[in-house]
Chain A
């Protein structure tokens, strides 16, 4: 992570989040998917959102993407309050989203999907220019897609995911939001996506990464925001938090199946195989019980921002 390479004028005032969510709540009938969630997204920073299945990560993404509005709470973009009622508004603000379910049109070819909703050309479509750009984008992602003129339905899961990621890069986004972008990707493609995320950060974009893979999170994220049962449950700088601290915040306890397994298998074993993304270096069980989120209700607030700046110092 070469922090010096970060162009300050592009990153803007470091202390000022590009997007700031405060008290976001969302109910689906009786299910309280999000409960007073706060989140800040800074330019030139990768923030990972982690949490168990059903923690509300995708719901938060969809609120930012304009798929469904929040029930309460405020979103501010570069300091002014905004409401995001539609996907088009989200895109106009400069948020580009890769959805967990990819949201591709199976009957359309790769080029049409990449440029859907923002086709190039005047009165008629400029297919050639779009096809050329598609190849450029896909080659950067090391995409293994034989032809961009075949229907997306005939692509493999990972190829489809690459198409969805490539789509978020079209246009000029200020923030890129990736909901489990590497879930179906091969080794090389995952590495490319992680490289891509680092390149996006170098260019001063804000990146939101949702992943269950702690190795990926620790590799590229600057900050980790933990959601648990729809609430904030900790906001850590990756540099100064251990794997087991994050796991403890995700599961809500330091003594649980994941940490027990990790400590049992760790000496010489490959804990990484036991649990997705568990780095094998975990040796001791969670030592810092005090770091669990229940005792850290305010982790996402001003302290988090302060530590953001501190974490940047080389």
Chain B
């Protein structure tokens, strides 16, 4: 990449002082060391850039309330259940986050997940397929549905709201057709997919090893980034802060893992969900594709003029949306050991969308993170789980979940307004 301006560039960029290139503007508050890191965090929060703070605080409050109301809520046994309840719908919510990031919506995720459950059930029982084949077929169908949405949206400009509303009905019908007259199929309990969802847990040593690997990985990536930044003449945070961050992560993970290990431990299905979140976050933050997703969500026309193939981004995101719905449907049916008319029905759609929004992904596109699927589903399932422990029925559960969703959207709007008044809309 050559510079069209030429030799003057070198002269102009010579740093006059010892400060890093990005710290030379005298209007910048200078945050040095750990105290500086805390100060800049407080400024960000005050400026309306709340990040995932409200969700985390909300989660702590919810857990505290339920623990007071029912001492079993924070028992290892119940937390293991909670983690398993999160995995399926949480996986669907990852897809919702992606679709919301490009400022579109997929209302058919419930039907698509139900259809994939039906394909799995009928495939391995009626058709006698091996499980892997049933999974491949279900995933292929899911991807084809996403491709069809993407083409309808990009070629004809039909709003995704309408396309996926049609999909909701059509694929519900297809799900019923695939299931056939009896409408409910039990999966064999000893099949590996059911075992995976219900009985496979990480042995404690492996779970703790993974926790250590995660913390070390975080430290290493921070440290490598700091080294690259220093090499490029840019400012870096203090090493002590990196140590504190990764140590804190290590402590939290080890405590959580050890506590869960007093019961069954960390479920494989939950691990899969977390891994999917982390991988998706990597793609969103570190790749060209992820950058393009945020650009399309922020300003499609600008993205198009920057040479981004906007249509491909839409198609890929809608395909990922239905892909995650498919995976979520497979996990849900494996966990319930059955595929039925109600698979993916009821509140699956709304819970998955609500989870993404509660987790902090904006409904208006361009803002959010893969982690909002994890945080959001934890909030919703905690409420649902806690109310079940209190023997309150689903009428109350729906109302409370609705109120929490409303609260999340209000927080989102307030922080948007705060961002606007602090010039960061």
Task: Please give the residue numbers on chain A whose beta carbons come within 8 Å of chain B beta carbons, in ascending order.
Answer: 65, 67, 86-88, 91, 97, 99, 103-108, 112, 116-120, 123-125, 127-129, 131-133, 135-137, 139-140, 144-151, 153-154, 169-173, 176, 196, 199-200, 203, 205
Residues of B within 8 A of A169 (CB): 3-5
B1 touches A105 (CB 8 A): no
Q: How far is the CB of A301 from chain B (nearest CB, A)?
A: 30
Given A146-B28, A170-B1, A99:B305 Cβ within 8 A: yes
Q: A153 touching B308 by the CB < 8 A rule?
A: no
Among B12, B27, B302, chain A packs the most CB atoms within 10 A around the CB of B302
B96 CB to closest chain A CB, in angstroms?
18
Q: Which residue of A lies closest to B13 (CB)?
A: A136
Q: Please give me the residue from chain A that is nearest to B283 by CB atom.
A: A124
Chain A residues, Cβ within 8 Å of B229: 128, 131
Please give, as numbers and ranges, the residues of chain A lying within 8 Å of B304 by CB-CB distance: 67, 87
Contacts of A88 in B (CB 8 A): 307, 309
State how many angstroms separate the Cβ of A248 from the closest Cβ of chain B. 35
Stretch in contact with the other chain, from B169-177, B231-239, B406-414: B231-239
A120 to chain B, nearest CB (A): 8
| Inter-subunit contact A153/B5 (CB<8 Å) | no
User: C-beta contact mask, B280-322 vs A, less than 8 Å → 1, else 0?
Assistant: 0000001110011011011101111111110000000000000
Q: Which residues of A contact B12 (CB under 8 A)?
A: 136, 139-140
- Is there an interface contact between A117 and B286, defined as CB atoms closer than 8 Å? no
B8 at the interface (CB under 8 A from A): yes
Q: Is the CB of A140 within 8 A of B307?
A: no
Q: Nearest Cβ distance between residue B364 and chain A, in whole angstroms?
A: 10
Across-interface contacts of A196 in B (CB, < 8 A): 5
- Which partner residue on chain A sits nearest B424 by CB separation? A154
Please report the C-alpha to C-alpha distance between residue A200 and residue B3 in the assembled complex, in whole angstroms: 10
Q: Which residues of B contact A107 (CB under 8 A)?
A: 294, 297-299, 366-367
A304 CB to nearest B CB, Å: 26
B298 contact set on A, CB distance < 8 A: 105-108
| Cα separation A270 to B229 with both chains bound (whole Å) | 51
What is the CB-to-nearest-CB distance from A62 to chain B, in angstroms, rounded to a whole number?
A: 9
Q: List 20 A-B contacts (CB under 8 A).
A: A67-B304, A87-B305, A91-B307, A105-B294, A105-B298, A106-B366, A106-B425, A107-B297, A107-B298, A112-B294, A116-B303, A118-B306, A124-B286, A133-B1, A135-B13, A135-B22, A136-B3, A147-B22, A199-B5, A205-B4
Query: Using Cβ atoms and an 8 Å threshold, which residues of chain B touch A103?
Result: 299, 301-302, 305-306
Complex CA distance for A128 and B235, rounded to whole angstroms: 10
Closest CB-CB distance, B23 to chain A, in whole Å? 9
Contacting pair B28 A128 (CB below 8 A): no
By a CB distance below 8 angstroms, the chain A residues around B286 are 124-125
Q: Judge whether A147 and B28 touch: CB under 8 Å.
A: yes
In the complex, B157 has a CB within 8 A of chain A? no
Complex Cα distance, B425 from A153, in Å, reads 6
* A173 pairs with B4, CB closer than 8 A: yes
CB distance from B282 to the nearest CB of A (A): 8
Instruction: Say whether chain A's binding surface is mostly helix, strand, loop, or mixed.
Output: loop
Contact B425 A112 (CB under 8 A): no
Q: Which residues of B contact A171 (CB under 8 A)?
A: 1
* B2 proximal to A (CB < 8 A): yes
Residue B228, interface by CB 8 Å: yes
B-side contacts of A129, CB under 8 Å: 232
Q: Closest residue to A99 on the B side, CB-wise?
A: B305
Q: How far is the CB of B291 from chain A (nearest CB, A)?
A: 6
Chain A residues closer than 8 Å to B423, beta-carbon distance: 153-154
The 3 A-B pairs at the shortest CB distance, nearest first, are namely A117-B306, A107-B298, A107-B366
B293 to chain A, nearest CB (A): 11
Q: Are B9 and A131 in contact (CB under 8 A)?
A: no
Cα A161 to Cα B46 in complex, Å, equals 28
Residues on B with beta carbons closer than 8 Å to the beta carbon of A176: 4
Q: Is B347 an interface residue (CB 8 A)?
A: no
Question: How far apart are the CA atoms of A153 and B231 in the complex, in Å?
Answer: 29
Give Cα A99–Cα B306 distance, bound, in whole angstroms: 11
Query: Looking across the interface, which residue of chain A has its beta carbon closest to that of B365?
Result: A107
**B18 beta carbon closer than 8 Å to chain A:** no
Residues of B within 8 A of A205 (CB): 4
Q: How far is the CB of A139 from chain B (nearest CB, A)?
A: 5
CA A87 – CA B13 in complex, angstroms?
A: 30
B195 within 8 A of A: no
Is the C-beta of B346 less than 8 angstroms from some C-beta in chain A? no
Minimum CB–CB distance from A148 to chain B (whole Å) comes to: 6
Q: In the complex, how many angstroms separate the beta carbon of B246 from the nearest chain A beta carbon?
A: 20
From A116, A140, A200, contact of B308 by CB (8 A):
A116
Contact indicator A87/B424 (Cβ below 8 Å): no
Produce 1/0 per residue, B39-51, CB < 8 A to A: 0000000000000
Q: Which residue of B lies closest to A131 (CB)?
A: B234
Could you tell me if A125 and B291 are in contact, using CB atoms closer than 8 angstroms?
yes
B3, B25, B225 interface centre (most CB from chain A within 10 Å): B3
Contacting pair A128 B234 (CB below 8 A): yes
B419 proximity list for chain A (CB < 8 A): 153
